[in-house]
Amino acid sequence: MDKFIIKGGNPLKGTIPISGSKNAALPLMAASLLGNSTSTIKNIPRLKDIYTFNNVIRVVGAHVDFKEDENTLTIDPTYVNHLEAPYDLVRKMRASFYMLGALVGKHGYAKVSLPGGCAWGPRPVDLHLKGMEAMGIDISLEKGYVIAKAEDKVDGGSFTLEPSSVGATVNLILAAVLKAKKFTINNAAKEPDVVQLCNFLVNMGADIDGIGTKTITIKAVDQLRGVEVSNDPDRIELGTFMIAGAMFPGSELTLTGCNPEHLGSFPDKLRKTGTSVDIEGTTIKIKAPETLKPVSIKTEVYPGFPTDLQAQWATMMTQAEGDSKVTDTVYFDRFSYVPELVRLGADMDVEKNTVKISGKTPLTGASVMSTDLRASVSLVLAAMVAENSSEVLRIYHLDRGYESLEDKLTIVGADISRVDEE
């Protein structure tokens, strides 16, 4: 198991290219199974979650070829014949649950493990299942597996997502485009990942109305064809590097291959800290202020402040001159990073779904442990501004969502080494 050893105190200067988005790529990979010929997806990041989902897709019989040096993925769904996604693969990544919509939508049957083997009830996948039932798909539960059946086209109808959910929106779209005569999703997610999926499916031949709005209406078509597409850049990686460039006085970063429109309200929030944010086309230039101003944020569904950037923002606020709050209205338990930052010297206190931060506090190197993807990268950011050396353990979380993180940060001046924990 690997860990990072990070020596802090270096301002960041230089250029970082932004990788393709994992969260946007996974729905496209599932959608490729709906076609009757090969699809090619460019700008695919080399990440653990991508490799895992490649294996899930191979298990059902599809041919998958990932040209890593070109970041290009081709998926041939012609040979899909095993309509089951097993627990040992689905448990590794919740997005594998997209196989439910893709398989029942194309083949009329799917047997997919519940993520984590969770029982039926008020859980995150409950929206997916209730939505498919509203569509007319028969849903049953058998020993930790969801079985979905719809041999013929179903009438459809409508379903309201409460709360709005990217995952459920994606799964219902995948199920409906070939199967539902007319199906409307109310309070649909509007994230760029959902928009890209819809545009990809329309290029394949799907009939989808209301793309990018809260009301998406789908009318089934008889078949979809394989197409070629370029995946969106990763807006969360982009936001993370923008925060990295703002945290340490003297830092100046140029970020290339961006889609600034996908950042929603984030750039304006960052400017309020005193950070210079200059956007020119697909390039964003960040210049850290001499004194970082405290700015409180509250996460919201897109285009509001992303929940996937709240840990990084809270870390940055430890270096701001004054008090701030970070409130997560999307996930109420996403503060596992706080005790680890406190070990480094942060002054933070969690109350329910809000962390209160008192700054500026000098951070000092220590050994800290990653607990999830975004918490992990927040510890890396903290270690880069801390005095002396820090160890960040369990960095396999980072490998799920950040392509070549230490390489990109080392090029712009960070001192990060990947070593075996043993």
Mean pLDDT of 7-23: 97
Q: How confident is the model at residue 361 (pLDDT cuts 50, 70, 90)?
A: very high
Residue 94 counted as an annotated binding residue: yes
Mean pLDDT of 241-247: 98
CB 146 within 8 A of CB 139: yes
Residue 363 counted as an annotated binding residue: no
The CATH architecture one would assign to domain 2-17+233-420 is Alpha-beta prism (3.65)
pLDDT at 124: 67
Mean pLDDT of 242-247: 98
| CA gap 3, 61 in Å, rounded | 36
Mean pLDDT of 19-45: 97
Question: pLDDT tens digit string along 93-128?
Answer: 888 999 999 999 999 999 999 885 333 344 568 999
Residue 343 counted as an annotated binding residue: no
Residue 408 counted as an annotated binding residue: no
Residue 132, both tokens: 């498919």
Distances in Å between the Cα of 48 and the Cα atoms of 75, 91, 368 are 18, 14, 22
Mean pLDDT of 389-403: 92
Of the ranges 69-83, 85-99, 222-236, 257-271, which one carries the lowest mean pLDDT score? 85-99
Q: When comparing pLDDT for 130 and 117, which is higher?
A: 130
pLDDT at 116: 59
pTM for the predicted model, two decimal places: 0.94
Of the ranges 117-121, 170-174, 348-352, 394-398, which one carries the lowest mean pLDDT score? 117-121
pLDDT at 117: 39
Q: When comparing pLDDT for 359 and 207, which is higher?
A: 207
pLDDT at 397: 87
Mean residue pLDDT across the chain: 95
Mean pLDDT of 381-396: 95
The CATH architecture one would assign to domain 26-221 is Alpha-beta prism (3.65)
Q: Given the residues 9, 67, 116, 118, select the one marked as catalytic.
A: 118
CB 57 within 8 A of CB 33: yes
Residue 166 has pLDDT above 70, yes or no: yes
Mean pLDDT of 39-56: 96
Question: pLDDT tens digit string along 289-327?
Answer: 999 999 999 999 899 999 999 999 999 999 999 999 999
Residue 330 counted as an annotated binding residue: yes
Residue 22 counted as an annotated binding residue: yes
For the beta sheet containing 415-420, the strands, ordered from the edge strand earlier in sequence to the opposite edge, are 367-369, 389-393, 2-7, 415-420
Residue 308 counted as an annotated binding residue: yes
For CATH 3.65.10.10, the residue range(s) in the chain are 2-17+233-420, 26-221
| Active-site residue flag, 118 | yes
Mean pLDDT of 77-81: 97
Residue 242 has pLDDT above 50, yes or no: yes
